[in-house]
A and B are shown apart, each in its own frame.
Chain A
């Protein structure tokens, strides 16, 4: 079966600047992938290339094996929600639903009505008069009523308060539980990622730094604490960060096997700390994750 989303050597330049380059990824069916990276790392560019809103300067992007820009069949399987949850503010919620129904060959009107009723959002209200959280839920309902097999969300919760954020993600995740929807979402809210996603992609300066299943990534990375000014022990693939004083050295590392040296103690690393370590060190690349065998190291 073709991957819901696959990009190979993907690049896009604007003028003389590459917003994204040498990007290769494969999103597995049924996975929920978090796409993180600093502002300007190319997250939105990647997602817009994926759904055919931008055309690649080099490389390819395919959705279920088809190029998105030219395949209506592929696009019909994708739900894409842009950063600002765009809605026609002057239209009522009911009008927006009728519009969605008219424009999409696959449209589950009962789902849309039922979900909005569950949320207590009246159909007669104009979109512009709803709260930010309600607008986001209406935009998400329109996207989900299309019954997409692949859901792409660009910074979906950035503008929402914590409660609205929780409700929004609960809707996305319940849909994934019901229908096995593949989800790709970009986010700045790193602390919530571990709960929500099972795969992680870190983009830094237009390139993929990390790509893998979160359980594997957490299994491979550790905090090591050892004596002051000690050189790192053997059994490491990569030292991500090093903080040393006279008395103690603290490393964030990617393991290559168990650390045998008794002078070092190992501690698990939270996903948030792992992401931050990579974001702090844009040159640290571990593109090898996706292709490696995923044996447990613990």
Chain B
């Protein structure tokens, strides 16, 4: 079972934060096939958030094929997500390293890099690509 948390300052819509946390838990193996997600009511009561927000997140996970809802019982993990950690995708990692090197040559410091990455991430979330 996972516990959701919210970062109000992230600018990421609440339902997407929940979706991301489930995907993350799947990637790192914290959630596995057959595991149950917290009941909607439990999430609502512990975070004091809108039930429709939780339902929206769970619907999105279900339509992505990651979970299955059993009416009256709960929502369960349906598939094992292939390991998509950074280490498992060397090509992506190489490109990111190259990008970091290039940015440093342009004179950007660590904070600039984080800000740039966060802004790109934020834009992609805002445009619904995430």
Contact = CB atoms under 8 A, between A and B. Distances in A.
Given A296-B128, A298-B127, A173 B11 contact: no
B48 A270 contact: no
Interface in B6-35: 6, 8, 11, 13-14
Interface residues of B, number: 22
A174 B50 CA distance: 9
A296 B14 CA distance: 18
Nearest to B55: A177
B74 interface: no
Q: At the interface, is chain A mostly helix, strand, loop or mixed?
A: helix
A246 interface: no
Given A178-B41, A194-B14, A268-B11, A169 B51 contact: no
Give the size range of A's interface with the partner: 20 to 34
Interface string B100-130: 0000000000000000000000100011100
Nearest to B6: A195
Given A178-B41, A268-B11, A270-B11, A173 B127 contact: no
B81 interface: no
Nearest to A195: B49
Interface of B: 6, 8, 11, 13-14, 40-41, 44-54, 122, 126-128
Interface of A: 30-32, 166, 169-170, 173-174, 176-178, 191, 194-198, 215, 218, 267-268, 270, 296, 298
